[in-house]
């Protein structure tokens, strides 16, 4: 199979931030919703969906406070790359395969990423954020829109995801899905992806094409 488009989620796929978000959202769940282990429940979802689904009973003051706490978190996030991802993306581009970030994060969060990693703007042909698609993951819109930008059909596109909602979005888009066991274990996502890797170390375009 020939791939035209390689479509990457951001957190937990390109940059290693998911564990930090889990700690944050677990704290928010306890303090504002009195829910334990809230972080894993909302992984991969946009802020708009998270607030609509879970925080409708909170006051405007509480919502504003959570947003400020989120801003503070993202300014101070450790944003190390997932092992091997930079080399893999460079190899994709050298082989003529288009690359895109397709994230549920908003543009404001991405500005923090660009400050830390300005090279990301050159690593990818397109960067799509929550503002670029009408429905968030697990709906397939984000990946279908990204593939369309490259003139690629679902059969010519591959998705790299780590969260349940993201993996489901890739499947709903009828694309090949590679799962990253960075947020959940291999056993937890093996039935939600066509192939699962721990990270990109040693992963190559030839390996991708053989799957």
Expressed as residue numbers, the domain containing 64 is 18-75
Note whether 113 and 79 are within 8 A (CB): yes
pLDDT of 174: 98
Residues 130, 89: one domain? yes
pLDDT of 1: 63
Residues 65, 125: one domain? no
Residues 13, 27: one domain? no
Query: Which helix or strand (DSSP H or E) is residue 195 part of?
Result: strand 195-197
Among candidate residues 147, 137, 132, the one with its CA nearest the CA of residue 168:
137
Query: Which helix or strand (DSSP H or E) is residue 40 part of?
Result: none
pLDDT tens digits for range 79-127: 999 999 999 999 999 999 999 999 999 998 899 899 999 999 999 999 9
Residues 9, 23: one domain? no
DSSP track, 132-189: GSSS-TTSSHHHHHHHHHTT--GGGEEEEE-SHHHHHHHHHTT-EEEEETTSS-HHHH
Give the torsion through C-alpha atoms of 163, 166, 171, 177, to 10 deg: -70
Residues of the chain with pLDDT under 70: 1
Residues 155, 181: one domain? yes
Residues 135, 180: one domain? yes
Cα distances from 206 to residues 92, 124, 162, 201, 210, in angstroms, run 10, 20, 21, 14, 6
pLDDT of 2: 81
Residues 48, 117: one domain? no
Residues 103, 174: one domain? yes
- Dist CA 104 CA 132 (whole Å): 10
Altogether, the residues listed in the chain come to a count of 211
Residues 96, 71: one domain? no
Residues 106, 183: one domain? yes
Cα distances from 189 to residues 18, 22, 118, 162, in angstroms, run 16, 17, 31, 8
CATH number, domain at 161? 3.40.50.1000
> How many structural domains comprise the chain?
2
């Amino acid at each position: 199979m020939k791939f035209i488009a390689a479509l990457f989620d951001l957190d937990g796929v390109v940059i290693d931030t998911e564990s930090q978000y889990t700690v944050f959202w677990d704290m928010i769940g306890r303090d504002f919703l009195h829910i334990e282990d809230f972080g894993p429940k909302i992984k991969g979802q946009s802020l708009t969906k998270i607030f609509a689904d879970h925080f409708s009973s909170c006051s405007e003051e509480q919502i504003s406070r959570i947003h400020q706490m989120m801003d503070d978190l993202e300014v101070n996030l450790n944003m190390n790359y997932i092992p091997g991802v930079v080399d893999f993306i460079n190899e994709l581009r050298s082989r003529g395969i288009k690359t895109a970030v397709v994230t549920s994060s908003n543009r404001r969060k991405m500005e923090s990423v660009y400050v830390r990693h300005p090279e990301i703007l050159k690593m990818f042909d397109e960067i799509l954020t929550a503002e670029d698609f009408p429905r968030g993951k697990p709906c397939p819109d984000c990946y279908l829109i990204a593939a369309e930008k490259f003139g690629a059909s679902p059969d010519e596109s591959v998705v790299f995801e780590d969260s349940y909602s993201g993996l489901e979005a890739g499947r709903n888009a009828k694309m090949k899905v590679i799962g990253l066991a960075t947020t959940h274990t291999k056993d937890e996502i093996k039935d939600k992806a066509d192939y699962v890797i721990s990270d990109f170390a040693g992963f190559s375009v030839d390996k991708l094409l053989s799957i």
